[in-house]
Structure 1
Amino acid sequence: MPFIRLAALMLGVVIMLGGCGYRNPYVYTGPEKSIYMPTWKNRTSELQLDAKIYQELLTWFQKSGSINVTKQKEGADLILAGEIISYNLPSLTYGADNRTSTVKLRLRVRYVLKDLKSDKILIEQPSETWAEDFRVSSDSALTRDNANRALETIIENMSQKIYQRTLMQITKS
């Protein structure tokens, strides 16, 4: 008898949760959309930065089965284009011997999401700066690894935000 009560309770919870209106903000399940996503222009001397951003954006957009990313503008519903404006490493804090101990990596970008059918701009971000601190070490390889991790964090967070903003715009239209 206790098993039947537990099963009935579990079934009731599942039914209530299923009808509560919860929606995963990371998944678009509306009508199929295709996004033309050219590689971003890279105005910095940081090699492959444009490819890293493209790959991370692609990873996010692949989470939704109803969104297809394409390298072809023809037939696409939307375009997501961007530009890497700057990449710099200004010193942040100094140790007792006046050496830099922490650096703040800054990445500045701009991007636009446009509906190609209506020619309407859905998102226009003329300048957005992302920053992440990392530790400097006497070991240059470790410092380079720390800088790479900071850059990866920035790219992942930025891509997630762009993806979520895009989903909000697609859902509205």
Structure 2
Amino acid sequence: MKKIYLAGLLLILILTNSCSIYNFTGTGKIDAKTFQVGFFQNNAELIEPGIDRRFTLELQDLIQNQTNLNLVKTGADLSYEGEIIDYRISPMTATADQRASQNRLTIRINVRFANRKKETDDFEKTFSFYYDYPAEQQLTGATLNFALKDIFERITQDIFNESLAKW
């Protein structure tokens, strides 16, 4: 009976200790308590109004939803800043009469990440993703919103993985 009690106690200790090492987002142990996301200005040649603010807010939301970090305006342990460097629409596939049948929206974002607690994690890197849509559709309204949602979900998750999850 004593061995079963000790085995159960040991199992509980292992489970509680291992939960602090790993969580479901893959972030593991983070020494940081705060983060800040600077405004990602749109410096692309082709300007789509409002995407800079939308991207900034989506990155903040992702980090808040997947970590216990607190968002602050200044003096954060983790800092994200950068700019949108490319917003490009290009034809992808053509029909027999040399017209585009599909277009691609590509967005590239340059990110500078700084970790005040562990400076070896700092990086500057470009992240990009694309969305293909039929050429007969205009990139406005619902099509644009869906494209931005798809692209920003992928880019923000890639930034999160690179800076915190280390995948």
TM range (shorter): 0.7 to 0.9
What SS does structure 1 have at the residue aligned with 2:55?
Answer: helix
For the pair 1:49 / 2:51, whether they are aligned, the reply is yes
Would the aligned equivalents of 1:80 and 1:113 in 2 still touch at CA under 8 Å?
Answer: yes
Post-superposition shift, 1:43? 0.5
What SS does structure 2 have at the residue aligned with 1:90?
Answer: strand
Would the aligned equivalents of 2:127 and 2:158 in 1 still touch at CA under 8 Å?
Answer: no
Would the aligned equivalents of 1:60 and 1:159 in 2 still touch at CA under 8 Å?
Answer: yes
Runs of 4+ in 1 over 3 A off after TM superposition: 26-32, 116-121
Long gaps (5+) in structure 1? 1-14
Q: What is the alpha-carbon root mean square deviation over aligned residues?
A: 2.9
User: Which residue matches 2:5?
Assistant: none
Deviations 1:105-157 (A, max 9, x none): 111111011023565552320x33322211122x64xx523243222201111
Post-superposition shift, 1:65? 5.0
The match for 1:160 among 150, 157, 162 is 157
User: Which residue matches 1:107?
Assistant: 107
> With structure 2 as the length reference, what TM-score do the two structures score?
0.73
What SS does structure 2 have at the residue aligned with 1:159?
Answer: helix
Would the aligned equivalents of 2:77 and 2:115 in 1 still touch at CA under 8 Å?
Answer: yes
* Residues 1-173 of structure 1 mapped to structure 2, 5 A cutoff: 19=15, 23-25=23-25, 30-31=30-31, 33-44=33-44, 45-64=47-66, 66-70=68-72, 72-74=73-75, 76-116=76-116, 122-125=122-125, 127-137=126-136, 140=138, 143-144=139-140, 145-168=142-165
Long gaps (5+) in structure 2? 1-10
Q: Distance in 1 between matches of 2:26 and 2:89?
A: 31
Of all paired residues, the percent bearing the same amino acid is 24
Q: Distance in 2 between matches of 1:102 and 1:92?
A: 5
Would the aligned equivalents of 2:40 and 2:56 in 1 still touch at CA under 8 Å?
Answer: yes
Are the structure 2 counterparts of residues 121 and 164 from structure 1 closer, same or farther at C-alpha, using a change threshold of 3 Å?
Answer: closer
Q: Distance in 1 between matches of 2:23 and 2:116?
A: 27
Would the aligned equivalents of 2:105 and 2:131 in 1 still touch at CA under 8 Å?
Answer: yes
Query: How many aligned positions are there?
Result: 148
The one-letter amino acid paired with 2:133 is F
